[in-house]
Structure 1
Amino acid sequence: MNPPAYTDPNLQAAAVKVSQALASAIKAAKVERVVVLSSVGAERSSKTGNILTAHTLEEALKGTAPQVVMVRAASFMENWNNAISAVKSGQSPVLGSTLQKLDRKIPHVGTNDIGRVVAEYMTKPSSEVNKLVIIELEGPQDYSPNDVAKVVSDALGKTVPAAAMTEEMIHDLFNKLGFPKTNIDNYIEMVRGFDDNTIRWTTGENVIRIKGKLTLADVLNKDLY
């Protein structure tokens, strides 16, 4: 995997450097199988913001080993934890959402499901894995910000509405965390991509769709109670 270097002045250049280094190391070590944690939208080469780093990683690692498995994960359920923490601590009466369309459902997946699927494909017999495998991994159902707010409200025993953050608020938040403006703009482009369906499951590639086992409540409730 290639965790985005959010505080690097050039996020994409950093992704290219890391991806090329990984590709060289895999080839030099003659690795038999590579399992890559990627992202929904990674097949696109533009208009995906930070997810472009996953596209870069995929392109660099294709063909580096006899078997390459790309696990394109949906939005992590755990990405909501910071917004939930703000509610639990009393810092916010609402569940802040960078996604603007509060009723729009998008695929989510729990990180434990990601780990399980990655482990399965790392240990499968070679006869069961093709030269290139592309997996789309999502949870049992899609969720909107309002759905997340409902899970939080049920767990806390009070109504916690979802509220969309403005782009100015997003800039201010990530600026305080030390993100360069270019990387914040990339993040906002990614959010827009989810909102307008630019970032979605794939378009004609031969993929394996896998549904995880964990619901949003399964994942978030351990931090809510």
Structure 2
Amino acid sequence: MIVITTPTGKIGGRVLEIIVAQQDTSGEKVRVIVRDPGRLPEEIRDRVEVVTGSHGDREVLDRAFAGADAVFWLVPSNSPAPSLEAMYTGFTRPAAEAFVAHGVGHVVTVSALGRGTAVAGRAGHVTASLAMGDLIAGTGVAHRALANPAFMDNLLRQVNSIRDQGVFTDTVDPDHRLPTVATRDIGAVGARLLLDRSWTGTGEVPVLGPADLSPNDMAHTMSEVLGRPIRYERQGFEQLRDSLTGHGLPEPIVQGYLDMMRAVNDGLNEGVPRTPENTTPTSFREWCDSVLAPAVRA
């Protein structure tokens, strides 16, 4: 039995899609934790067990983890938490206790690059995510953390600006090349680990995307795919603070994003050498063709 959290999100949904597609050959039973079962794809809904509720709720976890062999664990990004500790470790602590209580053997989590770098301890959300991984690893389960850089899909938050002004923003230098990955590829790696549970112990699995890209590289590709000029504008940290605060985020969460982006500029995502094993297939151009362009033109 595999339990999947956030099954209607981009990463959790991809994990669910792949595992359900292989049920006939794998024989795996699947259980999902979801607040609104109506958001599950209709073709999948009847092939999984559904536990309705929040995966931050111990009673929900006890129902979901009973008889489970493996869990895909992802902390929701829209949590109204008062602090980074509460958002990551605090939210996960009931699950860590439930892993032990129910004898869950394998857990795959979504985390970030940066462990072992000089800036890992002052990287805001990344630091908190790494601490969450330490909590889970401390339970004794076999644990793999998917260590990711920035997501290509984050650009979807700027669809209106890309469509109406031909502009996207970030806080990195225009020519600074960094790894970037499509969420669908993260989900594919997570599904592979859940279906083949021959691994033991704890560790990280870097998921780097196919190539390092700068914002200017991205602007060039987006311009070609969309058939119109798209440019990058570097955003100052105070501008970012104002934008995040304007969305109603608590100050500790806002500060966590600022600290994370400063750490990215200081090399947070550049400590893992690229290998065939950690290079995933979806190129930025392919992602723009299949995901960004339809969103911009909708």
What TM bracket, shorter-length normalisation? 0.7 to 0.9
Q: CA deviation at 1:26?
A: 0.6
Over the aligned positions, Cα root-mean-square deviation in angstroms equals 2.3
| In the alignment, structure 1 residue 107 sits paired with structure 2 residue 175 | no
CA distance in 1, matches of 2:138, 2:258: 32
| In the alignment, structure 1 residue 140 sits paired with structure 2 residue 140 | no
Q: CA deviation at 1:159?
A: 1.7
Say which SS state the counterpart of residue 262 (structure 2) adopts.
helix
Native 8 Å contact 1:94 1:160 kept in 2? yes
| In the alignment, structure 1 residue 198 sits paired with structure 2 residue 271 | no
Matched to 2:169, the amino acid is: G
CA distance in 2, matches of 1:32, 1:119: 16
Aligned length: 217
Bigger radius of gyration, 1 or 2? 2
Say which SS state the counterpart of residue 166 (structure 2) adopts.
coil
Q: CA deviation at 1:202?
A: 4.8
User: Structure 2 length as normaliser, TM-score?
Assistant: 0.67
- Structure 2 residue aligned with 1:173: 243
Matched to 1:51, the amino acid is: V
Say which SS state the counterpart of residue 211 (structure 1) adopts.
coil
- Structure 1 residue aligned with 2:86: 13
Q: Could you report, residue by residue, the CA deviation over 1:143-172 in whole angstroms, capped at 9, with x for unpaired residues? A: 111111112111222221100112222122
Native 8 Å contact 1:5 1:11 kept in 2? no
| In the alignment, structure 1 residue 2 sits paired with structure 2 residue 75 | yes
Say which SS state the counterpart of residue 206 (structure 2) adopts.
strand
Poorly superposed stretches of 4+, deviation over 6 Å: none
- Structure 1 residue aligned with 2:219: 149
- Can you give the 5+ residue segments of structure 1 that lack an aligned partner in the other structure? none
Report the CA distance shift for 1:189/1:6 in structure 2 as closer, same or farther (over 3 A).
Answer: farther
CA distance in 2, matches of 1:187, 1:217: 27
Alignment of 1:1-80 (within 5 A): 1-4=74-77, 7-42=80-115, 46-80=121-155
Tell me whether 111-120 or 164-173 shows the greater mean CA deviation: 164-173
Matched to 2:257, the amino acid is: Y
Q: From 107, 121, 130, give the equivalent of 2:200.
A: 130
Native 8 Å contact 2:99 2:141 kept in 1? no
Q: Could you report, residue by residue, the CA deviation over 1:114-167 in whole angstroms, capped at 9, with x for unpaired residues? A: 1111111111152xx132232111111011111111121112222211001122
Matched to 2:285, the amino acid is: A
Q: CA deviation at 1:105?
A: 1.0
Q: CA deviation at 1:6?
A: 5.7
Tell me whether 151-160 or 44-53 shows the greater mean CA deviation: 44-53
- Structure 1 residue aligned with 2:157: 82
- Can you give the 5+ residue segments of structure 2 that lack an aligned partner in the other structure? 1-73
Say which SS state the counterpart of residue 108 (structure 2) adopts.
strand
| In the alignment, structure 1 residue 163 sits paired with structure 2 residue 220 | no
Comparing both chains, which one has the higher relative contact order based on Cα–Cα distances under 8 Å and sequence gaps of 6 or more?
1
Report the CA distance shift for 1:111/1:27 in structure 2 as closer, same or farther (over 3 A).
Answer: same
Q: Could you report, residue by residue, the CA deviation over 1:175-221 in whole angstroms, capped at 9, with x for unpaired residues? A: 12111222222211111111121343359xxx995111101122222
Say which SS state the counterpart of residue 122 (structure 2) adopts.
coil
Say which SS state the counterpart of residue 139 (structure 1) adopts.
coil
Matched to 1:178, the amino acid is: G
Report the CA distance shift for 1:117/1:131 in structure 2 as closer, same or farther (over 3 A).
Answer: same
Matched to 1:184, the amino acid is: V
- Between the two proteins, what is the percent identity of the paired residues? 22
Say which SS state the counterpart of residue 71 (structure 1) adopts.
strand
Say which SS state the counterpart of residue 207 (structure 2) adopts.
strand
- Structure 2 residue aligned with 1:213: 281
